[in-house]
Amino acid sequence: MELKELSKKFDSVTNNLQKLLDQQESEIKEFGETTTKTAKAIGEVEGQIKEIGGEMKELQSRADELEKKMSRPNLGIRNQHSSKSFGQVFVDSESYKRMRESNLDNSDPVHFKGLFNMRRKALTGAEGIPVPTRVPNIIMPPEQELNIRDLLNVQTTDSNSIEYVREVGYTNNANAIGVGSPAPESSIEFTKESANVRDISHYIPVPNQALDDAKQLRGYIDNRLIYGLKQEDERQILYGDGTSPNLQGILTDPDRQQYKWSEGKAGDTKIDALRRAITIARMTGFPVTGVVVNPSDWEEIELLKGSDGHYIWVQVTEGGQKRTWSVPVVETIQINAGEVALGAWGMGAILWDRQDAFIKVLDQHADFGIRNMSALMANERVALTTMLPESFVHVTFDSKPTES
């Protein structure tokens, strides 16, 4: 199918999807849920959109092949640099090439600016939306899984320690006053806090033969090192105990709010518990920008059925993004089953990048030299400051509430 036909087809399908979403919204307002017919229709339309995406990729592949044969510059279908993975950037770097040309066993660090921000989603007005491969005149819905970093406000720092002020008390005495009357006095109490930059790092033993195989090396970096850093990143953000060398996690902060499922009304499901916790967070005056949940709990929520067997919770994703009660959802195994973290992620906390994450090759480890092995290491330096711990709610799915 040609580009012009794909564009027309995409416009038609998206218009149909918008009508179905409007219909679903009306049904939910009137009946409290969407009909099976509408939900099925929405699923079919989403399938059509994915099909168009596949056709687009095929068109792009043909264009890339033609470009290769003609030895011409890029045809403008995609930005080659922005589509490179971390591993590809590494094997294309001068540091890696210099190591191979000089027959060395060590490389200089190859730094990646915004290691994780390359996949940030603008949830609170921040820039950094990932740019998917696109054919001109066609805009594909981005398909990506959010992670906890996508929710946070991420900044850079040149210091090894972050000092910040945390609000611990506020009295609002604002009132209407008459002419000539003094204004009432309000008060805010602060406490000074600090957070140290911590290192998150790990390495993978690699046979030296693998260093001559760029594709294999790229797989090592992409599928193990980078993913491993992201996993530990999330665990520290949630559960770091604050003692060196750990961050002070949000769910271990003594000033966070807490809500137990058993504290709700009789008959409350986990869906109800989430909504009640969102209200608790909203009562602090800050917007709830994300819900972090374990896959096992999210499965139970999505599979809840009414007495007649219909699904209670019909998910309609927006650009591949899961939501609950209009709030973006991050599904991760780094949060314990039976627990949920939600709150004002973009305003309540800041994650600080002290040093660009880097990947390097080294052989100064144990007997690696005589075993013809090297270590491929990834490292990042970060700090976490939680300025508004009360804007976060730690939900525990302990037990179903019953009548007292």
> Regarding predicted confidence, which is higher, 96 or 287?
287
The CATH T-level fold of domain 108-162+196-404 is hypothetical protein PF0899 fold (3.30.2320)
For residue 350, the SS3 value is: strand
List all residues 6 or more positions away from 344 whose beta carbon is below 8 Å from its beta carbon: 281, 284, 286, 287, 288, 289, 388, 391, 392
Out of 10-14, 124-128, 265-269, which region has the weakest mean confidence (pLDDT)? 124-128
Per-residue tokens: 19: 């009508």
DSSP 296: H
Q: How many residues does the chain have?
A: 404
Out of 25-29, 166-170, 290-294, 344-348, which region has the weakest mean confidence (pLDDT)? 25-29
Q: Is 142 within 8 Å of 132 (Cβ atoms)?
A: yes
Per-residue tokens: 326: 């209009």
Mean pLDDT of 293-307: 90
Average pLDDT, the chain: 78
Out of 2-11, 266-275, 334-343, 379-388, which region has the weakest mean confidence (pLDDT)? 2-11
Kind of pairing between the strands at 323-324 and 290-293: unpaired
* pLDDT band of 164, cuts 50, 70, 90: confident
Mean pLDDT of 112-119: 51
Strand partners, 65: none
* pLDDT band of 85, cuts 50, 70, 90: low
pLDDT at residue number 249: 95
* pLDDT band of 256, cuts 50, 70, 90: very high
Question: How many CB atoms are closer than 10 A to CB 237?
Answer: 28
For residue 178, the SS3 value is: coil
Inform me whether the pLDDT recorded for 269 exceeds 50: yes
How far is the C-alpha of 283 from the C-alpha of 35, rounded, in Å? Answer: 33
Residue 315's Cβ-side half-sphere holds a number of Cα atoms within 13 Å equal to 18
| Every domain of the chain and the residues it spans | 1-77, 108-162+196-404, 163-194
DSSP 152: S
Q: Is 337 within 8 Å of 298 (Cβ atoms)?
A: no
CA angle 366, 372, 376 (to 5 degrees): 70
Residue 346's Cβ-side half-sphere holds a number of Cα atoms within 13 Å equal to 16
Q: Is 380 exposed, middle or buried (0-12, 13-18, 19+ CB in 10 A)?
A: buried
Out of 6-15, 76-85, 90-99, which region has the weakest mean confidence (pLDDT)? 76-85
pLDDT at residue number 220: 72
pLDDT at residue number 230: 85
Question: How many CB atoms are closer than 10 A to CB 383?
Answer: 22
Mean pLDDT of 94-102: 73
pLDDT at residue number 120: 43
pTM for the model: 0.62
Inform me whether the pLDDT recorded for 108 exceeds 80: no
